[in-house]
A and B are shown apart, each in its own frame.
Chain A
């Protein structure tokens, strides 16, 4: 028996600063954004991972929205952590919201979660990742190679070895599977 349900991720608390007080940090690659996000969240900064404005889009991009008044401290923190941003730019228009809708499909013995274009399927009893599908960036086959056949606790997290938006989407699916199994 297969069943479907939808799940909306808990909204990320919005940055409390006024729109004109927000900026975004631009990095060399998506993997650097993922590392910077981890550093800043561990330090408790009210930041969000977002899509860049059109003039900065190349095809597979993320930026970090941050309170502009804290630029010096945040850039310093990131530089000390080895992930200095290329540029800090004031926000002048709306940034793109990452997907926050999950599709969950129950196959009986298996559970599949889709976040954006990425799907992750596990064996419910063993918690072994049995398949990863979807996506179009080149780290998707690499992530599948590294993760399929391992349990949720053994598998490397996509945020640690992924480099693209597809990798980031897989991290969201991974976290949702963990939540479903907890």
Chain B
């Protein structure tokens, strides 16, 4: 079972946990409906679309409202610290939470107390906290974009906002940034780097790259990284090995983006709608080759 942890951009959204459904352009969890157009709801919608295409049940989610003040995030951290040890999940995705190293560490302790360690995937604010805690290598997969990779590569930066300029300048040298991140143990065991070329890397080096189809406008569209994380998490939950899932998810996300024929003004929900077609096409290609 896949569990997705994150926040909703509404201050009053309650802390809820349970199976989450996709209803048109909204997700629904215990009667609470949220548009899928950005953030954790976009990740969840992408995961649901992927699981549905594979004939798998929808994921579980643990969500709370937070508009950046951190009140909801702290409630969620506390809930996880208290409840994770009693639960079993195959894969666990941490997403938009206010980075907080102390709470991150308590959650990681709770994960270690689970009877079976899930595959740990981190993106967004929780990935920042994981890096800052010095425990990045406890994670199975990070899914940074190139800017976030520069942050991982900067051993002194506690947040992407403080990434030093000489490292930010290395945007065109992603392999060097990956090597630098691993040299300081600031990356997970697998990195899926989102960009004009997507990279899959491990501490041993770059394992694979995906650069087709190339759709320039996708970089501007908020949520395309969230969809990638949702797809890869769903593929891992469905039983694929991390490297295989990462490559297929990169191809699927790019193809879904291509099918949406986007401009920089396209909204991510239009891309989410194309995930089943993109994944089906790629799976058919794999079966016939």
List residues of chain A with CB under 8 Å of any chain B CB: 2, 6, 8, 29-31, 51, 57-61, 96-101, 103, 105, 107, 109-110, 112, 114, 116-117, 119, 121, 123, 130-145, 148, 162-169
Contact = CB atoms under 8 A, between A and B. Distances in A.
Interface string B34-53: 00001110000000000000
The residue among B8, B157, B217, B265 with the most chain A CB atoms within 10 A of its own CB is B265
Interface string B150-178: 01000011111111110011010000000
Nearest to B164: A97
A140 B38 CA distance: 9
A123 to B, nearest CB: 6
A116 B147 contact: yes
B148 A136 contact: yes
Contacts of B225: 133-134
A77 B263 CA distance: 47
Contacts of B102: 58
A157 to B, nearest CB: 14
B98 A138 contact: yes
21 contacts: A30-B68, A51-B162, A58-B101, A59-B129, A59-B132, A60-B70, A60-B99, A60-B100, A60-B125, A61-B158, A98-B161, A99-B163, A101-B165, A112-B219, A116-B161, A116-B163, A117-B151, A133-B219, A136-B126, A138-B96, A165-B161
Contact of B68 (A61, A138, A148): A138
A142 B263 contact: no
Nearest to A133: B222
Q: Which 4 A-B pairs have the closest CB atoms?
A: A139-B68, A163-B68, A141-B39, A59-B99
Nearest to B11: A142
Interface string B60-103: 00000011111011000000000000000000000011111110
B265 A123 contact: yes
Given A101-B165, A107-B217, A133-B220, A51 B264 contact: no
The residue among B8, B132, B169, B263 with the most chain A CB atoms within 10 A of its own CB is B263
Secondary structure call for the A interface: mixed
B246 interface: no
B124 interface: yes
Contacts of A133: 219-225
B158 A107 contact: no
Q: How many interface residues does chain B have, given as a range?
A: 35 or more
Contacts of B267: 131
Contacts, number: 185
B96 A110 contact: no
B99 A135 contact: no
Contact of A121 (B39, B70, B163, B264): B264
B139 interface: no
Contacts of A103: 171
A130 B264 contact: yes
B98 A141 contact: no
B272 interface: no
Nearest to B100: A59
B242 interface: no
A169 B66 CA distance: 18
A136 B131 CA distance: 13
Given A99-B165, A130-B264, A144 B222 contact: yes
Given A58-B100, A59-B101, A107-B217, A135 B163 contact: no
Given A136-B96, A137-B124, 19 more contacts: A6-B169, A8-B165, A59-B129, A61-B158, A96-B157, A100-B165, A119-B222, A131-B220, A133-B219, A133-B222, A133-B223, A133-B225, A135-B124, A136-B128, A138-B9, A142-B10, A142-B68, A144-B222, A168-B161
A110 B158 contact: no
Contacts of B127: 136
A98 B100 contact: no
B123 interface: yes
A77 B126 CA distance: 36
A110 B145 contact: no
A101 B168 contact: yes
B128 A59 contact: yes
B99 A110 contact: no
B89 to A, nearest CB: 22
Given A31-B68, A133-B221, A142-B9, A117 B147 contact: yes
A105 to B, nearest CB: 7
